[in-house]
Amino acid sequence: DQQVKQNSPSLSVQEGRISILNCDYTNSMFDYFLWYKKYPAEGPTFLISISSIKDKNEDGRFTVFLNKSAKHLSLHIVPSQPGDSAVYFCAASVDPRKISSGSARQLTFGSGTQLTVLP
Amino acid sequence: DAGVTQSPTHLIKTRGQQVTLRCSPKSGHDTVSWYQQALGQGPQFIFQYYEEEERQRGNFPDRFSGHQFPNYSSELNVNALLLGDSALYLCASSLAGPRSNQPQHFGDGTRLSIL
């Protein structure tokens, strides 16, 4: 049972245009969401996060939107650059205090979307 | 400021063998989590260590075990290796407790191949 889903395995976008990556989740206890970018032969690199008390968070060219009623989040990249070509993972987590004391967050990942930005 | 480091980068084993993977967390972090990433999938949570104890565990058999040392570094051990254990094993470090609302930082992983 996949709690976090990225239904688009791949996305191609022209350089300078907007890239929109989508993610859906089913667990209503998730309260913290993150996007990671992964290049081949490297580990995931943190991009941006959002808490469930917000519906938008911006950091430079990256904006994450959260729609709690639809259990949907999206990552917008504007403008897209060829260096943005990578696999993007969304991840979600539950407040660790609801699971066990002294814990950190456990991340549940989607299956990823390969973004290709064409020059 | 060193980030998360993992060793080795690549490893080839045969079925039935045992393997140990190592991880040093980012400076200042006290918690280590391990993830398995199979080809074409997202990382899956194996377990998490804090204060040298396993605090949370994902849906993995007890062939997967771990350890955390006083300097916060960690090991992942897998016994009786199966072909299906072939994957990229990622270590992530973070902070526990009230400072947990910060992102986990990942190492570059260990690519384990089972023949």
- How confident is the model at residue A99, as a pLDDT? 72
Contact B96 A104 (CB under 8 A): yes
Contact B42 A112 (CB under 8 A): yes
Q: Which residue has the tokens 């260990």?
A: B110
Cβ-proximal residues to A53 (8 Å cutoff; 6+ apart), any chain: none
Whether residue B91 contacts residue B15, with contact meaning beta carbons closer than 8 Å, is answered with no
Whether residue A104 contacts residue B48, with contact meaning beta carbons closer than 8 Å, is answered with yes
pLDDT of chain B, 115 residues: tens digit per residue: 679 999 999 999 999 999 999 999 999 999 999 999 999 999 999 999 999 999 889 999 999 999 999 999 999 999 999 999 999 999 999 987 766 678 899 999 999 999 9
Counted across chains A and B, CB pairs separated by less than 8 A come out at: 82
- Determine which helix (DSSP H) or strand (DSSP E) holds B3, and give its type and residue range: none
Residues of A in contact with B96 (CB under 8 A): 96, 102-104
DSSP secondary structure string, B5-21?
EEE-SEEEE-TT--EEE
Measured distance between the N- and C-terminal CA atoms of chain B, rounded to whole angstroms? 37
Q: Which domains does chain A have, with CATH numbers?
A: 4-118 (2.60.40.10)
Q: Which domains does chain B have, with CATH numbers?
A: 5-114 (2.60.40.10)
> What confidence tens digit (pLDDT) does each residue in A20-48 have?
999 999 999 999 999 999 999 899 999 99
